[in-house]
Structure 1
């Protein structure tokens, strides 16, 4: 199982073995995995090697340590690191997605968005996104009427990205700001929770390949269920 002559570090092999057992259901969500001592004996490696493997799995949100109890398998989180629709993210992760459209109205463009969206009329869309019957995200979108022709409430139960692309646009990238948010009674209600959960808020714009702004979106995510990866690169000539 563990090849100590391999160029792949031993701790990494142990880490992948543990991940494979979790994926196969040998250790299920919320179950305690084998102890450090048992893993040392099973894989015939040092305790330090096991601790490094477990430490990385904890950092990645796959495992969690509980003092005096052991190491447990975490519930999988929704993970986003590319420009993808929420629908595609959940499909890729194997989750079951349900979308509830709370609001769908054609309104006069809010004054602060007129210069940004360059449209007199916009659709205001408010959607709850549920994954495996749990409310994970609340999205509020303002999108110009011209961007999505023949838009309907029923269509919005699917992918907004797909609707936009069907209207001839190429989604290129998004520009967002990310902040932490304290859960209040309003968010407890819409997320259907009795206890406080951590939230993150993103607010930004999504652009096409011609740098036109397609829509503005404010999204609130449960950060105990959702991970947003941000990759920041240093481009030559920008930072000195």
Structure 2
């Protein structure tokens, strides 16, 4: 991040303490908003933890949980003895290692089951500020947006949204996406590789709970994945929302594996 030491703006912040979401999540959303709307610019140093505690009238533990989430998301980075700085979204990389991508269909196939797509919707839309930074495309560039509800054995348990560029290489026929997305793109000569992946428990918005057929208080696991094939000009950002009680996420550390291997398991 260089030696940029620009201090992020000092302004008052008010949060809704009556909201049902945890306080750290509300603080996290507020800070994320400042970064994405440009109030806190890339390279600027955000206020120290104690100052954020005073701004939001919350404990230091709450502030740290909010910042930890933003570090995992790649929006900020910590420098020992210097402070915490705003980072360009999508620039963080896991130790420089890359791995082939395993899709949902492959994961459930390993369990002896078949993936089912209950519905698929596809459209194009312009990239907003955050997505354009993550996908490294100009803001406003047309993206393919694919929404799907998937599961196994007649029971849906994941809602997924994929944003893909370039959109010109893909059809807008939703029936084409009822099977494996990665099988489709590999037939096009594209070999996506995992660049970054994060997993977190969230309080899902009402629209996602509606898609999954669950109540607002049921746990949801959010899995965000960024994949690329630089040679093909392909980039994809996918957000998967799983019903917490119906999905387990395993990470196996093998001595011959440069990075963790993952496996899905329907409970």
Range into which the TM-score falls when normalised by the shorter chain: 0.5 to 0.7
Map of 1:76-115 to 2, 5 A cutoff?
A: 83-115=101-133
Deviations 1:121-175 (A, max 9, x none): 1111111102111121110110013474335211111111112111211122241
Other-structure match for 2:235: 214
Distance change >3 Å, CA 232–CA 185, structure 1 → 2: same
1:118 aligned onto 2:137: yes
Distance change >3 Å, CA 149–CA 103, structure 1 → 2: closer
In 2: Cα distance, 1:167 partner to 1:117 partner: 22
Q: Structure 2: state its 5+ residue gaps.
A: 1-99, 256-267
Map of 1:181-196 to 2, 5 A cutoff?
A: 181-183=202-204, 185-193=206-214, 196=217
Map of 1:118-157 to 2, 5 A cutoff?
A: 118=137, 120-146=141-167, 148-157=169-178
Q: TM-score, normalised by structure 2?
A: 0.49
How many residues in Structure 1 have an aligned counterpart in Structure 2?
154
Larger radius of gyration: 1
Residue of structure 1 aligned with 2:189, choices 164, 168, 176 = 168
The farther-off stretch of 136-145 and 190-199 is 190-199
Distance change >3 Å, CA 140–CA 195, structure 1 → 2: closer
Q: Structure 1: state its 5+ residue gaps.
A: 1-81, 235-240
In 1: Cα distance, 2:111 partner to 2:230 partner: 27
Distance change >3 Å, CA 201–CA 215, structure 1 → 2: same
SS at match of 1:93: coil
In 2: Cα distance, 1:212 partner to 1:231 partner: 30
Contact 1:143–1:215 (8 Å) recurs in 2: yes
In 2: Cα distance, 1:133 partner to 1:227 partner: 18
Q: CA RMSD in A?
A: 3.1
